[in-house]
Structure 1
Amino acid sequence: MEARLLESVFPTDSNPRGNLFGGTLVSWMDKAAGIAAMRRARQVVVTARIEDIEFKVPIIVGDLVEVNARVEHVGRTSLKVRVDVSKENPLTGTSQLCTTGNFTMVAIDADRKPTPVDPED
């Protein structure tokens, strides 16, 4: 299961040098990971772990950002989600992979306790 988000980088999303705040990008990545996991589990999910985020290339004001999340593994109550982020210059159409990360999402029930995920999809 996958999820794809598109965002535009505005000055309010950046530091004084025009670089996208890392925290803003991680928030977008977490959102995409959660949507992909929820679509696969068909249950509410929460973030249990964020790891291996690698910021390879800066993203700047004016760039379009594409966040792609895909579920790579389903455990008993958890889902491992890989998130790749690319930037695109909207004037030239050139794009580049900028950031990657791995997220672990956990399905929860109405009492906010971990609940099993159907291993079949």
Structure 2
Amino acid sequence: MEYTTQRMVTYPHLNAAGILVGGTALSWIDQDAMVYAANLLETSRIATAKVSEVVFNSAANIGDILITGVELVRVGKTSITLKCELRNKTTNKVIVQVEEVVLVTIDFNKKPTPHKLYKEKMAK
């Protein structure tokens, strides 16, 4: 798994219980998956098609530094599937795990289109 993005949990990220809002964690995972895919596929014309079951393993508190890990799982014709997690950098505890984030490359009409990895595979 490749860990590239780091964020600090600050007051705007907290819920009434004083821990990281789940929706904020999912937003960070989605954004980081998009950036990973954009770099891998060399395009930003990508849309999220599916996010599998989300598992919250532990809480994140104010001041925690969180890192996002992303790993390529599968390559399709128009899509790629990634595994993602948000981890506490200090304690190394996993905060959130998502087994599958499916991202699809799209054309200017917002229709699925074959991506770079598929085209390279077909050219061989």
**Range into which the TM-score falls when normalised by the shorter chain:** 0.7 to 0.9
Q: Partners in 1 of 2:25 and 2:37 — Cα distance?
A: 18
Pick closer, same or farther for the CA change 1:41–1:54 going to 2, 3 Å: same
For residues 4-83 of structure 1, the aligned pairs below 5 Å read 4-43=4-43, 44-83=45-84
Of Structure 1 and Structure 2, the greater strand share is in: 1
What do you get for the CA RMSD once the two structures are aligned? 1.8
Task: Kindly state the Cα deviation for residue 3 of structure 1 after the two structures are TM-superposed.
Answer: 6.1
Tell me the TM-score normalized by structure 1.
0.87
Structure 1 position 104 matched with structure 2 position 105: no
The letter for the 2-side match of 1:99 is V
- Corresponding residue SS for 1:95: coil
2:114 matched to which residue of 1?
116
Moved beyond 4 Å, runs of 4+: none
Contact 1:3-1:35 at 8 Å conserved across structures: no
Equivalenced residue count is 117
Task: Kindly state the Cα deviation for residue 83 of structure 1 after the two structures are TM-superposed.
Answer: 0.4
Of Structure 1 and Structure 2, the greater helix share is in: 2
Contact 1:40-1:71 at 8 Å conserved across structures: no
Q: Partners in 2 of 1:3 and 1:114 — Cα distance?
A: 28
Q: Partners in 1 of 2:106 and 2:83 — Cα distance?
A: 20
- Structure 1 unpaired stretches of 5+: none
- Corresponding residue SS for 1:29: helix
Tell me the TM-score normalized by structure 2.
0.85
Task: Kindly state the Cα deviation for residue 16 of structure 1 after the two structures are TM-superposed.
Answer: 2.4
